[in-house]
Structure 1
């Protein structure tokens, strides 16, 4: 696989956007989303501007994002990460899997699954 395949470009774009977003750069997120962006997660709005406004005011905007794995192909990027809000006293927060659909270098759709991270003694092989 070369370094310039659609799968590699999708991986690089999604990781760049996550890193910039974690630094508070909403412009990078806005630039990566297609204007007709579709959100599939309950309670989150669709549309680029509405989605960016929504996440800017959510706990994820101030959370630390620790990426654990990324799986990509020519159309999708799947990112599994540990999201730790700045006010989480245990530092465990949630495990997140984001599924991003990309078309022509823009994120067009998003799905996610969130799972609270339990106490370590309940996960003998680790959460991540």
Structure 2
């Protein structure tokens, strides 16, 4: 596993699976930039927004992780309480000097009858 991939997997598992926001923030640069509408840039503001978002209460599973040099793509499945199928999310992050510095994402509701693998 590449270094960038290890950093991102550790951060995402702490952030979304274990809900350990302090541990997740250790992998994020203080001047982190997100291009995700509705979420603030800056490590502390972003992590706090994630802690207070509905996603903090979701059941999240990491489906796959793909790394290409300093970019890492993470495919996640989020299921909020009361939902049946949830949402598929693809996060793209850029790692620089051992920290996550930039983030993009795309989201799509999982259609009924579709199995996430």
User: TM-score under structure 2 normalisation?
Assistant: 0.91
State the SS of the aligned residue for 2:41: coil
Structure having the higher Rg: 1
Q: 2-side partners of 1:76 and 1:15: how far apart?
A: 12
Matched, 1:17 2:21: no
3-state SS of paired residue (1:61): helix
Superposed CA RMSD:
1.4
- Counterpart check, 1:63 vs 2:63: no
Deviation at 1:113, TM superposition (A): 0.5
Partner of 1:80: 75
Offset from partner CA, 1:6-31 (integer Å, 9 cap, x none): xx111111111122222121112211
What stretches of structure 1 of length at least 5 have no aligned partner? none
- Segments ≥4 residues shifted beyond 3 Å: none
The match for 1:103 is 96
2:59 equivalent to 1:47: no
Query: 2:11, 2:25 within 8 Å by CA — same for their partners in 1?
Result: no
Give unpaired runs (5+ residues) of structure 2.
none
How big is each residue's C-alpha offset from its partner over 1:37-88, in whole Å with a ceiling of 9 and x where there is no partner? Answer: 0010111101111101110001211222211111102211100111112x13
- Greater percentage in strand: 2
Matched position secondary structure for 1:70: strand
